[in-house]
């Protein structure tokens, strides 16, 4: 085992950030046993130091500025969980990569807008940019596209990329209830945000699709060129009609390569009941990749 621990700096102590801290602290011994190196949180950054987050932060340095944390010699890896496609999130990730520090982020909006720029910066300085958590929930699609399918000529990638929308559609279909009712339930249960626009409007799916398109086809993606339609106008009657025809309705992100370029779109889609994608219910995601082998 290495004598030197891997020192982690975490920027952003919201729900996800606090979860990461708790997970690393709870599973530190397991990680050390599996990787041969201890993992230690040495610094954190958030807006309000006085807020009680239910975390044990004794002995951990506190930074008020994420950019300073990103460039600090007290960390080896910078974890960005601030959120947003620009501002402090972008500046802190740039600072970390510019100093040669590897970055872990779940920020799909940031990567959809600036992913290529950040990837080039990481390549220039020898750092790594890791973002498995930014696309399709727990589906390990980023590593799969980067490594396992790197030799494939991918023709098409599509899937369910937003658990909130899939949960709503699943319950609407099963219970015969309309969109507004199920959305309200989802918000009470914590499956939907207080402002659910990014999810139900298809924008979250578009961000994830842009990331996967860039990886699958090795191209820069113009996020604004993606056709986006959410699920707000889907009714229980629509789902019943689809069922009678042998289909289910799912919100899909789709990218297809052709001789004329790459088409990207997000919209509710009727999928055959006997298809694999139709079997995905609740908050779960799934991504399908079609290549030449």
Which pLDDT score is estimated for 138?
66
Domain 156-290: CATH architecture, name and number where available:
2-Layer Sandwich (3.30)
Q: Which residues of 121-137 are buried (b: 16+ CB within 10 A; e: fewer)?
A: bbeeeebebbbbbbbbb
- Assign a CATH topology to domain 6-134: Rossmann fold (3.40.50)
Residue 268 pLDDT: 98
CA torsion angle 118 259 156 107 (round to 10): 20
Which pLDDT belongs to residue 192?
86
The residues assigned a catalytic role are 208
Please write down the HEC assignment for all residues of 32-65. HHHHCCCEEEEEEECCCCCCCCCCCCCCCEEECC
Give residue limits of the domains in the chain: 6-134, 156-290
Q: Which pLDDT tens digits describe the chain residue by residue (293 residues)?
A: 677 899 999 999 988 889 999 999 999 899 999 989 999 999 999 988 888 888 888 889 999 999 999 999 999 999 999 988 889 999 999 999 999 999 999 898 898 888 889 999 999 999 999 888 877 666 778 778 777 777 788 899 999 999 999 999 999 999 999 999 999 999 998 888 888 999 999 999 999 999 889 888 888 888 889 999 999 999 999 999 999 999 999 999 999 998 888 999 999 999 999 999 999 999 999 999 998 87
Strand pairing of 286-290 and 39-45?
Answer: unpaired
């Amino acid at each position: 085992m290495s004598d030197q621990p891997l020192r982690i700096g975490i920027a952003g102590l919201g729900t996800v950030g606090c979860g990461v801290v708790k997970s690393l602290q709870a599973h530190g011994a397991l990680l050390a046993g599996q990787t041969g190196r201890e993992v230690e949180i040495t610094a954190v950054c958030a807006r309000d130091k006085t807020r009680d987050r239910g975390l044990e932060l004794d002995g951990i340095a506190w930074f008020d500025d994420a950019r300073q944390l990103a460039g600090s010699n007290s960390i080896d890896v910078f974890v960005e969980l601030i959120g947003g496609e620009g501002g402090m999130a972008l500046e802190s990730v740039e600072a970390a990569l510019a100093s040669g520090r590897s970055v872990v982020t779940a920020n799909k909006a940031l990567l959809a807008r600036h992913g290529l720029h950040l990837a080039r910066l990481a390549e220039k300085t020898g750092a790594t940019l890791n973002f498995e958590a930014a696309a399709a929930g727990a589906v390990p699609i980023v590593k799969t596209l980067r490594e396992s399918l790197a030799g494939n000529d991918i023709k098409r990638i599509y899937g369910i990329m937003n658990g909130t929308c899939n949960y709503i559609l699943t319950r609407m279909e099963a219970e015969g209830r309309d969109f507004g009712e199920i959305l309200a339930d989802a918000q009470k249960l914590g499956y939907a945000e207080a402002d659910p626009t990014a999810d139900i409007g298809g924008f979250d799916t578009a961000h994830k699709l842009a990331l996967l398109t860039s990886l699958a086809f090795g191209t820069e993606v113009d996020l604004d060129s993606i056709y986006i339609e959410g699920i707000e106008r889907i009714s229980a009657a629509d789902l019943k009609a689809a069922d009678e025809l042998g289909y289910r309705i799912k919100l899909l992100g789709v990218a297809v390569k052709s001789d004329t370029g790459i088409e990207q779109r997000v919209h509710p889609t009727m999928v055959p009941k006997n298809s694999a994608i139709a079997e995905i219910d609740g908050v779960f995601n799934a991504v399908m990749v079609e290549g030449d082998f």
